[in-house]
């Protein structure tokens, strides 16, 4: 293994551990960019409310659940995603999924699908266009609130799926690579009822470098 491959592996372990080490008391990380960094695709006010109110509320509610049940206080955030207690599962998912979502985005137009990610996408979906079309269909087909995901399955292939509410593919042994939040709070201020316009515009802010990092 070359020096750069070893570095890539170490970076990957660190990225994964960022979520593993989140334990009680859970804290809300700052956005990895300014609130207006995703303009005009996602407006500043949506980002402020989404991060400071919604993501904060999931964090606070998960802490409240853990305060009431000491067994939860020694578990990592990922262990709580599959909890049989709805308030734990939903708020743990709310914390994890939004951490993941913020890091999946960057300034519009700066990132492209390249290298090994492009190869894997073409292997699974024949073309980038076909992948995007299937991902959009998953995002549009999710009735009510939830997420659409690109995941790596147990044998290393790529798949598209959607989950309801704050459910997370990790619970089914799948590795999330990319996700779009299709709860109305993610887009309603700017796009109103037009989820399709939000989903199609969203491609401009995807951080493909981050997606490729997660693939390693
Ligand atoms: Mn959300």
Distance from the CA of 182 to the center of ligand 1, in angstroms? Answer: 7
**Reported pTM:** 0.91
Q: What are phi and psi of 196, to 5 degrees?
A: -60, -35
Four-way CATH pick for 3-25+43-103: 3.30.1330.10, 1.10.287.990, 3.30.420.60, 3.90.1150.10:
1.10.287.990
- State how beta strands 175-181 and 146-152 pair: antiparallel
Q: Has 54 been labeled as part of a binding site? A: no
Distance from the CA of 50 to the center of ligand 1, in angstroms? Answer: 6
How do residues 85-140 score in pLDDT, each as one tens digit?
A: 999 999 999 999 999 999 999 999 999 999 999 999 999 999 999 999 999 999 99
C-beta of residue 77 within 8 angstroms of C-beta of residue 27:
no
How do residues 127-141 score in pLDDT, each as one tens digit?
A: 999 999 999 999 999
Strands (E), 49-98: none
At the topology level, CATH places domain 115-215 in minor pseudopilin epsh fold (3.55.40)
Query: What is the residue extent of each domain of the chain?
Result: 3-25+43-103, 115-215
Exposure letters 147-165 (e unless 16+ CB within 10 A, then b): bbbbbbeeeeebebbbbeb
Do 3-25+43-103 and 115-215 fold alike per CATH? no
Q: Has 98 been labeled as part of a binding site? A: yes
Q: Has 51 been labeled as part of a binding site? A: no
Angle CA(46)–CA(82)–CA(11) in degrees, nearest 5? 70
Q: Which two tokens stand for residue 94?
A: 């709310």
């Amino acid at each position: 293994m070359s020096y750069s491959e070893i570095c890539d592996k170490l970076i990957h372990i660190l990225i994964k551990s960022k979520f593993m080490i989140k334990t009680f008391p859970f804290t809300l990380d700052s956005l990895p960019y300014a609130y207006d960094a995703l303009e005009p695709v996602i407006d500043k006010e949506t980002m402020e409310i989404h991060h400071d109110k919604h993501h904060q509320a999931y964090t606070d509610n998960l802490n409240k659940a853990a305060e009431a049940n000491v067994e939860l206080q020694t578990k990592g955030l990922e262990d709580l995603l599959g909890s049989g207690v709805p308030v734990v599962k939903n708020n743990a998912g709310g914390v994890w999924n939004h951490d993941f979502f913020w890091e999946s985005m960057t300034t519009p137009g700066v990132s492209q699908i390249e290298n090994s990610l492009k190869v894997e996408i073409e292997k699974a979906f024949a073309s980038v266009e076909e992948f995007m079309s299937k991902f959009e269909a998953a995002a549009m087909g999710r009735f009510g609130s939830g997420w659409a995901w690109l995941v790596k399955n147990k044998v290393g292939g790529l798949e598209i799926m959607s989950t309801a509410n704050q459910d997370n593919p990790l619970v089914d042994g799948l590795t999330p690579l990319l996700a779009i939040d299709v709860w109305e709070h993610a887009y309603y201020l700017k796009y109103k009822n037009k989820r399709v316009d939000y989903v199609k515009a969203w491609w401009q802010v995807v951080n493909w470098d981050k997606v490729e990092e997660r693939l390693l």
